[in-house]
Structure 1
Amino acid sequence: MDRNFLCLESALLAMEPVNAVLSLARQSGRGSITTEVQTFILDHCTKNVVGKDNTRHDIYMKNILKRIISAAESSNTDVVEGLYEQFACYMMLNMEDGSLNENNKIYKHISFYLSNGHNDMTLTNFVVKLQCSLNMLQGDTGCALWPSSLFLSEFILSHPWILSNKCCLEVGSGVGLVGVCLAYVGACKVVLTDGDASTLANMEHNIELNQHITKNRVECKYLLWETISESELQSFQADIILGADIIYDPRCVPHLLHVLSILLNCGKSRLYEEKVSMQCKKELNYYNKQKDISDNLSKKAPVAYIATVIRNQNTWSYFLRLAGEARISVQDITRMNKSFNLLPYMLSYDRESVYLFKLSSLCD
């Protein structure tokens, strides 16, 4: 399949905004909505998208076809007969965009174009199906697909060796896209967490939808930053902590830093120092103590990768100040660890607005 047509189909499956789809349709037709483009949409895209999950998708495709037909007519391009018929079917359903308030969830199919090792992007059979919210500005933000989650997913898929065979924990996991990507690259264990019950339920649903990828290696857990105990956090024993778009509310920043501080130290010295102290009291011999110290030091300390859009400079500065007080290093690695553009069809996704930071403990 031609790459332009491939991107067009992927954009429709991901339910990209109408203007973005229209732009890709024009690219496929070398500047216009040709009959070839129209036929492709009719034969390949409507059958894959329309009615697949719920009526929301029918509404989406109705709006797409309306704009496609209008753009073709305005440029004096013939409109294929089947396109008119399909659009007429939608009109007969008498669907109204605002009539489905009881069902504010939609399904998006996110297709990743992975590298074949020669800087060529080829579409593999890696498509993540996600139930997402339509009301991300009405209290359902955890079920929305945010740019930082897409950015972090691209990072994971572009640098799989960083996450492979690691125990990974994500804070504020949202729809669960990052967790599916972690399972895909071979993380030995993935724990996804969130402090909102409805978000957690939606996340669990998405992990189940992608069970062919996650293969029972992804666990979803309730984690409220304000109340989680130190012992509970230490029990995760995560090698790598991840987060996407979790630094936006200044009221949550102190709680987030508390959680990160414990997670970043749990594999390093605190528990071990307590163990050594007990051993000394029991007068264990010098050889055993040195062996335990050597084993402990050979274990790499946990690190965190946080992707974020800096929407408010004051909130970000507050986060950096508290991170410094907690002796957490925050390193901008956005340019150092560049990722492949694995979502070339997502014209609505502004990757240039996202930063990637690596966090580690400065404690001895």
Structure 2
Amino acid sequence: MERPNLEHLKSAFLAMEPPNCFISLARSCGGGYITPEVQTFILDIICNGYVRSGAVSNSSYVRNLLKKVIVDAESTTSDDAVAVVDGLYEQFAHYMTLPAEDDLLKEENRIYKQISFLYPNGFHDVSSGARSLVVSLQCSLNLLEGDTGCAIWPSSLFLSEFILSHPAIFSNKFCFEVGSGVGLVGTCLAYVGASKVILTDGDISSLANMTSNLELNCLGSGTKAKTKTSPDMIQCKHLPWEFATESELQGCQPDIILGADVIYDPLCLPHLIQVLSILLKTKKHVPEETNDATNKSRNNYIPCNDQMKETPVAYIAQVIRNYETFNYFLKLAEEADLCIVDITETKRPPDFLPYMLSYDRSSVHLYRLSFSK
């Protein structure tokens, strides 16, 4: 495995990787322990730069991180190691003196993360030559309060990697996502040039948070995601599955439907299957040709791949946490004449997140759904 570099460490910090994961990565960057070079990078480049500029707003995270860095550096027994860099103590003292009440009020139960998708060797954005995509996201600080729609889940990371590694599938396509959460997948769809993107969620607070995240990225500049899709072509809609009507869904006519970690509650699955069935059965209208020249062009037309077909497809990324629930989903899908194919191995994307040690890519499955009749 290639040794991680300091840029990976910066990406881990901006993504607010768990402190233990950050420490493990910092050791790897230093060849086994947190060297003075790595300590200086953490101090000068990360702490003094990104924290003070407001890129990372959660001071309790920084405080905990600095404490673990200092403890790890102090406990190093290597002959090559030196004392802890002095500035680390000063930074830690600064964050220790911050009033806990003011800190909590300032963060307002939300944290800002920046997810850096680092293009592996052989991959890059052809149109711009970019080697990375940075997506800024406001996420929930406390999932115990039921704010799960405002968190970043492994399946959304996997689906985002899939989109970035296969941009031709989604470019110039109308994409519709169910259960969009923080809007990470939608931002990646816009980045690869989807012609239209509709993001939906049944939770009002998640929808509001998603809208804010799109404004952070799709309408932003600088290090934020510069999308190839017009901001007007990205919409957020409130869509509780149990109340979705057939006429409402048939009016959408998307090319591709997506979902990440949407198979979780047995009570919701019949409604989810109904939504997917309606969207997948709806064929896009092809206008009739009215002149000989157009007819001649049509007669010479030969579809070259699956993406040119009129029937839409769905891509669902899922961590199977309960096999009984997942088997129930498969049963309902079969009854609805939906064909499900596991394409995890044939379409597994390369690792765009090598610094994210908390992300278990191996736990995610990718499924392709289509109408079987």
TM-score (norm 1): 0.87
Tell whether the 8 Å contact from 2:249 to 2:279 is kept in structure 1 after alignment: yes
How far apart, CA to CA, are the structure 2 residues paired with 1:96 and 1:48? 25
Asked if the contact 1:38/1:80 (under 8 Å) is kept, the reply is yes
Q: Give the structure 2 partner of residue 182 of structure 1.
A: 189
1:115-145 CA distance string (max 9 Å, x none): 45269xx983410000001222321010010
The residue number in structure 1 matching 2:271 is: 255
- Matched ranges for 1:81-92 at <5 A: 81-92=86-97
Aligned CA distance change for structure 1 residues 27 and 151 (closer, same or farther; 3 Å): same
Within-5 A mapping of 1:146-165: 146-165=153-172
Using the alignment, how far apart are the partners of 1:233 and 1:176 within structure 2? 20
**Aligned 1:186-225 pairs, distance under 5 A:** 186-210=193-217, 211-212=219-220, 213-214=226-227, 215-216=230-231, 217-225=233-241
Q: For the Cα contact (< 8 Å) 1:51–1:58, is it kept in 2? A: no
| Structure 2, unpaired ranges of 5+ | 221-225
The answer (yes or no) to whether the contact 1:54–1:106 under 8 Å persists in 2 is no
* Structure 1 Cα separation of the partners of residues 31 and 107 of structure 2: 41
Shift of residue 224, structure 1, vs aligned partner: 1.2
Per the alignment, residue 351 of structure 1 pairs with 361
Cα drift, residue 58 of structure 1: 1.5
Query: Any idea what SS the aligned residue of 1:16 has?
Result: coil
Map 1:1-364 → 2, pairs under 5 A: 3-53=4-54, 57-75=58-76, 77-95=82-100, 99-100=104-105, 103-117=108-122, 124-210=131-217, 211-212=219-220, 213-214=226-227, 215-216=230-231, 217-267=233-283, 299-363=309-373
1:109 CA displacement: 0.3
- Supply the distance in 2 between the matched residues of 1:101 and 1:265 (Cα, whole angstroms): 48
Whether the aligned pair in 2 keeps the contact of 1:151 and 1:354 (CA below 8 Å) is yes
Q: Which letter does structure 2 place at the counterpart of 1:266?
A: T
Instruction: Tell me whether 213-222 or 182-191 shows the greater mean CA deviation.
Output: 213-222
> How far apart, in 2, do the equivalents of 1:262 and 1:68 lie?
53
Secondary structure of the 1:241 match is strand
Deviation at 1:74, TM superposition (A): 1.1
- Whether the 8 Å contact between 2:177 and 2:200 is mirrored in structure 1 is yes
Q: Is the contact between residue 53 and residue 107 of structure 1 (CA under 8 Å) also seen in structure 2?
A: no
Gaps of 5+ in 1: 277-286
Q: Is the 8 A contact 2:56 2:113 kept in 1?
A: no
Per-residue Cα deviation, 1:203-226 (whole angstroms, up to 9, x for no partner): 000000002434403211111111
Aligned to 1:279: none
- Whole-Å separation in 2 of the counterparts to 1:22 and 1:55: 18
Give, in whole Å, the separation in 2 of the partners of 1:92 and 1:322: 56
Task: Give the superposition deviation at 1:5.
Answer: 0.6
- Counterparts of 1:24 and 1:55, CA distance in 2: 19
Asked if 2 retains the 8 angstrom alpha-carbon contact of 1:59 and 1:97, the reply is no
Change (3 A) 1:124 1:330: same
Deviates more, 1:129-138 or 1:211-220: 211-220
1:27 CA drift (Å): 0.8
Once structures 1 and 2 are overlaid, which stretch shifts more, 93-102 or 123-132? 93-102
Kept in 1, the 8 Å contact 2:118–2:132? The answer is no
**Could you say if the C-alpha distance between residues 199 and 234 of structure 1 is closer, same or farther in structure 2, counting changes exceeding 3 Å?**
same
1:179-229 residue CA offsets vs partner (Å, 9 max, x unmatched): 000011111111100011100000000000002434403211111111111
Paired residues of 2:4 and 2:25 also in contact (CA < 8 A): no
Letter in 2 for 1:305: Y
AA in 2 matched with 1:41:
I
- SS of equivalent residue, structure 1 residue 129: strand
| 1:33-64 Cα distance to aligned partner (Å, 9 max, x none) | 11111100011111343255498522111111
* Aligned partner letter, 2:145: Q
Check the 8 A contact 2:58/2:107 in 1, yes or no. no
Q: In structure 2, give the amino acid aligned to 1:111.
A: S
Point out the more displaced range, 214-223 or 224-233.
214-223
| CA displacement at 1:19 relative to structure 2 | 0.3
Q: Distance in 2 between matches of 1:129 and 1:352?
A: 25
- Please name the residue that 2:223 is paired with: none
CA distance in 2, matches of 1:54, 1:42: 15
Deviation at 1:8, TM superposition (A): 0.6
Question: Quick one: distance in 1 between partners of 2:259 and 2:246?
Answer: 19
Find the residue that maps to 1:330 and give its secondary structure.
Answer: strand
Inter-partner Cα distance in structure 2 for 1:53 and 1:191: 30
Structure 2 residue identity aligned to 1:137: L
Q: Is the 8 A contact 1:333 1:356 kept in 2?
A: yes
Shift of the 97–70 alpha-carbon distance from structure 1 to 2, 3 Å rule, reads farther
